[in-house]
Amino acid sequence: MFKKSLLLFAVLATGLSALAAETAAPKAAETKPTEKELVIYSARKEELIKPLLDQFTQKTGIPVKMLSDDAPKLLARIESEGAASPADVLITVDVANLSIAKDKGLFAKLNSKTLNKNVPALYRDKDSEWFGLSKRVRAVFYNKEKVKPEELSTYEDLADAKWKGNILARSSAHPYNQSLFAHIIKVHGDKYASDWAKGFVTNLARPPQGGDSDQLRAVAAGEAKLAISNSYYYGKMLTSELPEDKLVAQKVGIFFPNQKSAKGQLNGVHVNISGGAVLKTSKNAKNAQKLLEFLSSAEAQDLYASLNKEFPVLTTAKSDSVLASWGPFKEDKTLLHSWAPHSKQATLISDQVGWK
Amino acid sequence: MLRGAALLFAALCIAPLLVIATAWLIAVSPETAEAWQHVVKYLLTSYIIDTLLLGFGVAFTAVVVGVSTAWVSSRFSFFGQSILQFAMILPLAVPAYVSAYSYGWLFEYAGPLQTLLRDFTGWEKGDYYFPQFRNLGGAIIVIGFSTVPYVYLLARTAFLTQPLEWWQAASSMGSYPRHFFWRVALPAARPFVFAGGLLALMEALADIGTVSIMGVQSFGAGIYRSWFYLGEPLVAARLAAVLLIFVFLLMSVEAFNRRKQRYSAIIQNNEIKKIPLTFGKSIFAFLLCLLPVLVGFVIPILVLLRLLSYNKVFSMALLDGEYVWQTLRLGGLSGLLVAVVALVMALAERFYPKGWLRYFTALANVGYAIPGAILAVGLMLLFGWTQKYFSADSFMTATIAALLIAYVVRFVATAYQPLRSGFTRIPQEYDQASAALGKNKLVTFFRVQLPLLWLPLSVAFLVVFLDTVKELSATLILRPFDVKNLAIVAFEFASDDRHVEASPYALILIALSTVAVIILFKLYDKLKVYR
């Protein structure tokens, strides 16, 4: 028995050290990126951003590696790593995340002619710290059998009693809804926004659940007449290889609200961005800036549209056939960084009116 | 030495919890104070109610199903019993968040069941009633059935190791099995059942994935929301501290409960002759034991397979062996490390049962009830502070170390339980005999205790391995580059609404875990033999 336990102990010890060595060895080399290796913390999942990064590496010879998680956790990680952080670039969705990170003083100021030229002023930080890389339109989707597009008008109208029990949306806590609501607060003020949210919640067909695609599926199945969702989910369903997804997309129509809105309402559709910034602690800032410039260039912007069905920020980017089929639309021109700070208020009001 | 090591490990486990608890002592900005007021006014009541209902609902489900099935399968023989008694613990292989998603999709309006119903009857919305699954009840079912094996395993071990003489004495007095269960077997097994129920409850309190899918406003969900969506770490930490106190109270009750029963005995040859059931009762027993297997294992897997079948473009090339290897490596490493840490703490408690140390080790076990994401961020704060005292080039998250520390804090309780009960089953007389022979503690440990402990140790390893393989939120945020296991890949697809693409990874994850679970069960069966 003694031998057996000694053996067990030996196995444990060697196993532990072998596994540790196996894990630590390659990591040790990575703690200090070489001159050219770029480290990206990304709130966008690898699947979406990988093709773009691959192309960047192919073109420039700069190797790239990335780590993905939700933006608030990545920010916590960057703060915790402090000056030693290996991260060079932060890529995230939602302008609120970018503006929070900026307020924490995590970003470097960039002086790039290319970025300033490619990214319209509306979609970049006024102090040149973050830059939008794609536009994400929060549109209204309707069941084609039950709703005629003529019945639809504005975001504001979604709180009207005529839609009672007929709207679907994901959780208010999700940044996409948080931002739309922050935008409404910025345009209308707290009082109106609170009443609007109350009406909107009453109109919900079920407690918020699932992601944007789930809302589209439910509308197609007839659980409600309308849903709010980002447009690229719909775009990807239209071009999906899964017949089930295509079927959903065929039953659902896309509507860009607030195209003919009254004075005082949002003057066009709500547009959010995905964007990027170079971190202040980056030891590879030049290449980091190169990456952002590449992502704003025509070839990358085309990919955003053709692969992800997002709208390019670059006005001269090639038009994707699916996106073009939705026709032109008017965007609300309220500066993004002017409504981003209302996100917190949006969450607070959502709690008060019981929008889960 | 031993006490020093144990204290060090315990301190390591307690430190991040202390960081969280200090939230009540730090002066907050007016903005944070306002946010806290907001939480108290609008959310706290539902957090408390949902958490209590969820926690006790889960514990109740796990205990009722776990104990009844353990009793039936340990005392009676019936059709299918030999397979079911081990199939019962398969739910351990399915992460609760996977199960939650599967059921959510299965039962929702646009899901397969309701679609079939509408296609068949021509009904539309409002023409029929269909129960909602994405709510508190759904969460209780999902987490409850995923934790049934905890109670089942502990209760079954308790029943199987109860002295045969009790059973013989009772039957010689003409007692029915039913009476024996209520008057003797269950009361004697109470500490085991309580421990299992507590584990289930803690699992429910630490959950974030399932509650967010099911829309339950538990403390876990509230902490997450305050921190990451409201941007108020201190509000989140205050909530977490309240949760910690609650868990600590529960654990004190458990400790008090256990103190009243302290026996150690080695029981040889404890083969109980199982009572054959009549046909009708046999069917009932079969269905009873089948229920948790269906709910916790078979149905979620069928749903995943259905999702997989949608995937026309799926190719095996996708299944890079790398993800499997990473999963095994991380799980193995974590299992070994946590088992060793727990062993040191259990050993210290063995040699110094009355000392101050036991309060520390008890506290160190609370980490199991803290959501992984919260723990991870607490740890990061801690690393951030300590970093100032080390060179600026190094940071914990560059290596796997940070992640392993998180696993230790989070899972040490699961490894500690089997080891401690392993120790209690080694009679104190053995230690005393060894001491009387002039052997020191080290020799006593290696020559006397360790040979009797290798089964509990393996159990500890496997339990932590399973927990690690399924862990998601701490792994996501604390991992170094290139660490990408099956859970993370599946999550990345799922979080992007690409459940069809996520399904093969979830299935492989479950397959791997199933192997570990089967080994675990074999070990448990051996464990009872020499006890």
Q: Can you tell me the mean pLDDT for A183-187? A: 95
The closest CB to that of B399, out of A27, A69, A220, belongs to A27
Residue of higher predicted confidence among B444 and A228: A228
Tell the burial category of B343 from Cβ atoms under 10 Å away from its Cβ (0-12, 13-18, 19+): buried
- The mean per-residue pLDDT over the stretch A131-148 comes to 96
B231 neighbourhood in chain A, CB within 8 Å: 72, 100, 344
pLDDT of residue A330: 94
Reported as a pLDDT band with limits 50, 70 and 90, residue A69 is confident
Q: Determine whether the interchain pair B213/A73 forms a contact, defined as Cβ–Cβ distance below 8 Å.
A: no
Residues 316-375 of chain B whose Cβ lies under 8 A from any Cβ of chain A = 329, 332-333, 336-337, 340, 373
Any CB–CB contact under 8 A between B454 and chain A? Answer: yes
Residues of A in contact with B377 (CB under 8 A): 73, 76
> Average pLDDT, stretch B138-158?
92
- Tell me: the pLDDT tens digits for B177-188? 788 888 888 888
- Chain A residues close to B451, C-beta within 8 Å: 1-2, 4-5
- Assess whether pLDDT exceeds 50 at residue B19: yes
Chain A residue closest to B38 (CA)? A348
pTM confidence score: 0.87
Is some CB atom of chain A closer than 8 A to the CB atom of B3? no
In 3-state terms, what secondary structure has residue B132?
Answer: coil
Question: What is the model's pLDDT at position A25?
Answer: 42
Mean per-residue pLDDT, B12-26: 83
A266 φψ region: left (φ > 0), alpha (ψ -120 to 50), beta (else) = beta
Q: What's the pLDDT band for A212 if we cut at 50, 70, 90?
A: very high
Distance, CA of B489 to CA of B320 (rounded, Å): 11
Q: Give residues 375 to 404 of B whose Cβ lies within 8 Å of A.
A: 376-377, 380-381, 383-384, 387, 392-395, 397-400
Q: Which residues contact A29 (CB under 8 A, 6 or more apart)?
A: none
Question: What pLDDT does B29 receive?
Answer: 87
Helix, strand counts (H, E) of chain B? 25, 2
CA–CA separation, B270 vs A51, rounded Å?
62
Whether pLDDT at B229 is above 90 = no
DSSP A331: B
* Chain A residue with minimum CA distance to B228: A72
Query: B residues 290-319 near A, CB within 8 Å?
Result: 310-313
CA dihedral (B523, B332, B337, A77) in degrees, to 10, reads: -140
Query: How large is the average pLDDT for residues A150-170?
Result: 95
d(CA A107, CA A123): 16
pLDDT at A297: 95
CA nearest to B376, candidates B199, B240, B265, B257: B240
Q: ipTM, 2 decimals?
A: 0.82
A12 pLDDT higher than 70:
no
Q: How far apart are CA B223 and CA B217, in angstroms?
A: 10
Contact yes or no for A351 and B42 at CB 8 A: yes
Residue B86 has pLDDT above 60, yes or no: yes
User: Which chain B residue has the Cα nearest residue A24?
Assistant: B399
Q: What is the mean pLDDT of residues B46-61?
A: 96
Which has the minimum average pLDDT: A114-128, A164-178, B117-131, B391-405? B391-405
Is the pLDDT at A18 greater than 70? The verdict is no
**Mean pLDDT, chain B, as a whole number?**
85
Nearest to B397 among A2, A77, A222 (CB): A77
Q: Find residues 116-175 of chain B whose CB sits inside 8 Å of chain A.
A: 118, 124-125, 132, 134-135
Q: Which residues in B lie closer than 8 A to residue A20 (C-beta atoms)? A: 333, 400
pLDDT exceeds cutoff 60 at B380: yes
State the pLDDT at residue B357: 82
Residue of A nearest to B453 (CA): A5
For residue A10, what pLDDT is reported? 54
Q: Give the gap in angstroms from C-alpha B354 to the nearest C-alpha of chain A.
A: 28
- Mean pLDDT of the B104-118 span: 91
Which tens digits make up the pLDDT trace of A304-356?
A: 999 899 999 999 988 899 999 999 999 999 888 888 889 889 999 999 998 88
Q: Looking at the partner chain, which of B125, B479, B500 has a beta carbon nearest the beta carbon of A223?
A: B125
Interatomic CA distance for residues B153 and B89, integer angstroms: 8
For residue A267, the distance in angstroms to the closest alpha carbon of chain B comes to 27
Span of A149-153, A288-292, B478-482 with lowest mean pLDDT: B478-482
Question: Of B229, B446, B495, which is closest to A347 when you measure between CB atoms?
Answer: B229
Distance from CA of A212 to the nearest CA of B (A): 8
Tokens representing A241 are 């290889």
Closest in B227, B337, B451 to A1, CB measured: B451
- Could you tell me where the beta strands, DSSP code E, fall in B8-88? 76-77
pLDDT value at residue B391: 57
User: E strands along chain A, which residues?
Assistant: 38-42, 64-68, 89-93, 130-143, 167-168, 226-230, 252-255, 270-278, 311-312
- Residues of B whose CB is below 8 A from A213: 497
